[in-house]
A = this chain, B = another copy of it.
Amino acid sequence: MPTVIPEDSVGLIKPQTLHFDAPLELACGRTLDAYDLVIETYGELNAERNNAVLICHALSGHHHAAGYHSMEDRKPGWWDSAIGPGKAIDTNRFFVVSLNNLGGCHGSTGPRSTNPATGKPFGPDFPIVTVIDWVNSQVRLADRLGIQQWAAIVGGSLGGMQAMQWAISFPERLRHCVIIAAAPRLSAQNIAFNEVARQAISKDPQFHQGHYYEEEVVPKTGLMLARMIGHITYLSEDGMREKFGRELRDGKINFDFTPQFEIESYLQYQGEQFSTAFDANTYLLMTKALDYFDPAADYQNDLTQALSHASCRFFVASFTTDWRFSPERSREIVDALVDAGKDVCYTEIDAAHGHDAFLIPIPRYMEVFQSYMSRVANDFSRHEEARHAG
């Protein structure tokens, strides 16, 4: 069924693949000799090249953040609610760049790619990538696109961690850092959930120690379980209660093990969809990048000291019922920024949707986000006016 593309959409979008030849040294000590990054862009880069916004994706995200790939697409990109003409990230003003990170499974070099050393897919031999590795690869992407300084780097969840890392490691290369529903590092509970997901995948007999491509199978059960666990942590208990409560599929208890409560069917469906769409090795890599992220570790575990290197302005947002990365975790970031004397705007959005709220166009959230992004745009608009006047 052909979609009628809404007026506030960025429209039909074609991803591009950029090849990078210079070896990239990774935090783990290994080197990627060459790699591809798949990106999408929305809006136009201005003559001053100062209106670019980088979107960093979360655990299961990718480059397709807005618009449609074809008229047959049933859904737009994952953050279409926030990116488009007149939206919070206004493509009439910004040139937006969205990429699939290294290790991903949507076209950038990752475990499914051919390992030049063997001629076979990397599989489990793909190096462990970290947030700093992604940021390093994104710096090269900026160089390639001729973007010396991003107007803003924006991310939710694991994406917000990348934005934070940019501010610390490459302070001169961004003017604004937007960190939504993130945390300065994972808690023991966060790591615990990730580890159960990894065990579910790696103990699936179809995983074949990560060499399942050659076997032409996928560890479906493991991925399904991983996604079900993840999904529980993305929703709030209240949101789940409102949406599913104890509703029974057939209105009655069956006294068997088929899904009876609506929440059971919902989770199974989500898990099954995901298990055929996402790559297991990528899931393992992404969860490890989350576990390892800890920018304060290099600064005697002092986040204030880590963030003191930043020179951009910050926007931090959290959601009241998010228990994966609760508002308290965002306030740790805000407190460190304030202690470090940085310019930070913080908002805590009342929302029942839990961690997932960052993807949902909650009116108050979109208003505050748009208002901040207008300030970002006004910065370079003023520069432009000054230049035109001068």
Contact = CB atoms under 8 A, between A and B. Distances in A.
A14 interface: no
A22 interface: no
Contacts of A199: 221, 224-225, 228, 268, 271
A246 B243 CA distance: 34
A202 interface: yes
A232 B291 contact: no
B284 A232 contact: no
B228 A188 contact: no
Contact of A245 (B188, B235, B243): B188
Given A192-B232, A195-B267, A292 B187 contact: no
Given A196-B228, A246-B186, A288 B28 contact: no
B267 A196 contact: yes
Interface string A235-259: 1010011011110000001011101
Given A196-B228, A229-B196, A187 B240 contact: yes
For the complex of A and B, the 3 pairs showing the least CB-CB separation, nearest first, are: A28-B255, A188-B240, A188-B244
A29 B255 contact: yes
Chain A residues touching B, range: 35 or more
B244 A257 contact: no
B257 A188 contact: no
Given A187-B237, A196-B229, A229-B229, A221 B203 contact: yes
Contacts of A29: 255
A129 to B, nearest CB: 10
29 contacts: A27-B255, A28-B255, A127-B255, A128-B256, A186-B246, A187-B237, A187-B241, A187-B246, A188-B237, A188-B243, A188-B244, A188-B245, A188-B246, A189-B235, A189-B237, A191-B261, A191-B263, A191-B264, A192-B228, A192-B263, A195-B228, A196-B228, A199-B224, A203-B221, A229-B229, A253-B292, A257-B284, A257-B288, A261-B291
Contacts of A246: 185-188, 191, 294
A205 interface: yes
Contact of A257 (B198, B205, B229): B198
Contact of A225 (B200, B261, B268, B291): B200
A193 interface: yes
A255 B196 contact: no
Interface string A99-139: 00000000000000000000000000001100000000000
Interface of A: 27-29, 127-128, 185-189, 191-193, 195-196, 198-200, 202-203, 205, 221, 224-225, 228-229, 232, 235, 237, 240-241, 243-246, 253, 255-257, 259, 261, 263-264, 267-268, 271, 284, 288, 291-292, 294
B240 A189 contact: yes
Contact of A255 (B128, B186, B241, B268): B128
Nearest to A127: B255
The residue in A27, A205, A221 that gathers the most chain B C-beta atoms within 10 A of its C-beta is A221
A189 B262 CA distance: 11
Contacts of A264: 191-192, 195
A255 B284 CA distance: 12
Contacts of A267: 192, 195-196
A186 B245 CA distance: 9
A253 B28 CA distance: 9
A367 B291 CA distance: 40
